[in-house]
Amino acid sequence: MTKRRYIPIAILLAVLTRYSCAAELPRAKPETVGMSAGKLEKVKSEVQKLVNDSKIAGAITIVARKGRIVHFEAHGMRDIEEKSPIAKDTIMRIYSMSKPITTVAAMILFEQGKLKLDDPVEKFIPEFKGLKVYDAKQPVATSRKMTVRDLMRHSSGLTYGIFGNSPVDQMYRKANILGSRDLAEMAGKLGKIPLDYQPGSKWQYSVSTDMLGYVVERASHHKLDAFMQKHIFNPLDMKDTAFFVPGPKVKRFASCYGPELRTKDSYRSSRYLTRPTNLSGGGGLVSTARDYMRFCQMLINKGELQGKRLLKSGTVEMMTKNQLPKDIYCWGVDGSGFGLGFQVVMKDWGLYGHVGEYNWDGAASTHFWISPKDELVGIALTQFMPFSKQLKDAVKPLIYEAIVK
């Protein structure tokens, strides 16, 4: 008689867990989590008005409170020429909403002991050794070395080269920093250009997060996309977030539009259809409302989602508190701080931001905000360039106003 072999229950459960899909975030009626359904209904009409007035082609809005989704709507067109409607699973360019994801990747390495926040960046990027600060007469030495923390909070001395016209901005454009073939080439170019200001002396939006992505590669010995896939996207079941849109998903990818709804980037011919050589942690990802909500829910849960822990609670608390030196503000706005990867609201902005909220946007007019004290996550996505706050300004106050208790 053949002897039966039994698989231990613990092993069986582990196998089933490994290959089963993660559960979707639970839904709830607004009233059950202290929100007004009637006021949330106004979000739908405001978005539809933007579409009807040809201000945007389409948009997706999603709101969660106390871990439950209470609003998830799609309006308008994914592609106007084809008359293809936008759907809740439409894939969009999130540009700088990539930055918080890249920062989480770096903080995973921080918890693994593979980097420290005050490590000099040159430890991982030798091309930055000997960097000086621009001076009209001759470059001057830095008062201290640029650190990993500086990259996370945009106080590194780097710039973008496109938001100003300083001599350093001009050098960036001449060197075609943003057109670099890959992160190694970008680092090599930056290592030959002086910094725009002393590290730690101001907040300036920059390619810092791209270089943070390169630090992730150097510290982990993995390509940025592979590291994110293993340590962030797989655990959170972010199944549509990547640096490009693969063939089977192209029909879910939105076209991007500009004023008068002229096509800026057709989904049929976009550069996002092929894997880039330059894995831009500062602005290279595409995602969906569903995926990004899972990422945000992990953050508001202080590092955990559905039993998968990415970061310790204390790490997330540190990331989402202002990290800028005294009297330095994000965008120069009083009460606007910056943590590690996020803008942080330090003064009450009424329906435009509660104290403790952290948030960021993307160049194609994508937005998210997380208010821990309200247990609230809001995401509003469209595909419109140049960057516009029209969608966020239309819906964010309504979402805050819908909180009744």
Q: Residue 22's pLDDT is what? A: 81
Residue 145: count of CB within 10 angstroms of its CB? 17
The arithmetic mean of pLDDT across residues 24-40, rounded, is: 97
Tokens 């300083």 map to which residue? 166
Q: Provide the pairing of β-strand 68-79 with 58-65.
A: antiparallel
Looking at residues 351-365, what average pLDDT do you find? 97
The tens digit of pLDDT for each residue in 97-153 reads 999 999 999 999 999 999 999 999 999 999 999 999 999 999 999 999 999 999 999
- Tokens at 291, concatenated: 């995926």
Predicted local distance difference test score (pLDDT) of residue 21: 62
Res 190 pLDDT > 60: yes
3-state helix, strand, coil in the chain (%, to 5): 40, 20, 45
Q: What pLDDT is attached to residue 245?
A: 98
Q: pLDDT: is 17 or 384 the higher one?
A: 384
Average pLDDT, the chain: 95
Please give the structure tokens belonging to residue 248. Answer: 């089977």
Residue 279 near residue 400 (C-beta atoms within 8 A)? no
Q: Which of 8-22, 194-208, 231-245, 352-366 has the lowest mean pLDDT?
A: 8-22
If you average pLDDT over residues 186-191, what whole number do you get?
98
Residue found by looking up tokens 């080439």 in the block: 185
pLDDT at 4: 46
Structure tokens at 254: 């939105």
- Tens digits of per-residue pLDDT, 313-347? 999 999 999 999 999 999 999 999 999 999 999 99
**Cα(221)–Cα(208) distance, integer angstroms:** 20
Beta strand segments in 169-271, E:
256-257, 263-265
Per cent of the chain over pLDDT 70 is 95
Neighbours of 180 (CB within 10 A): 20
Q: What's the pLDDT at 19?
A: 42
Nearest to residue 91, comparing CAs of 391, 397, 405, 383? 383
Taking 50 as the threshold, does the pLDDT of residue 11 lie above it?
no
Task: Over range 178-188, report the average pLDDT.
Answer: 98
State how beta strands 68-79 and 308-309 pair.
unpaired
What CA–CA distance (Å, rounded) separates 262 from 257? 5
Confidence band of 174 (pLDDT split at 50, 70, 90): very high
Q: Which string of DSSP letters, residue by residue, matches 103-157? A: HHHHHHHHHTTS--TTSBGGGT-GGGTT-EE--SSS-EE-SS--BHHHHHHT-SS
State the pLDDT at residue 8: 52
Is 18 a residue whose pLDDT tops 90? no
Q: 27-55: b or e for each residue (b if 16 or more CB lie within 10 Å)?
A: ebebeebbbbeebbebbeebbeebbeeeb
* CA distance to 119, 285, 366, per residue, from 245 (Å): 35, 9, 18
Mean predicted confidence (pLDDT) in 281-299: 98
At residue 65, does pLDDT exceed 70? yes
Q: What percent of the chain shows pLDDT beyond 90?
A: 94
Query: pLDDT confidence of 13, banded at 50, 70, 90?
Result: very low
Q: State mean pLDDT over 384-398.
A: 98
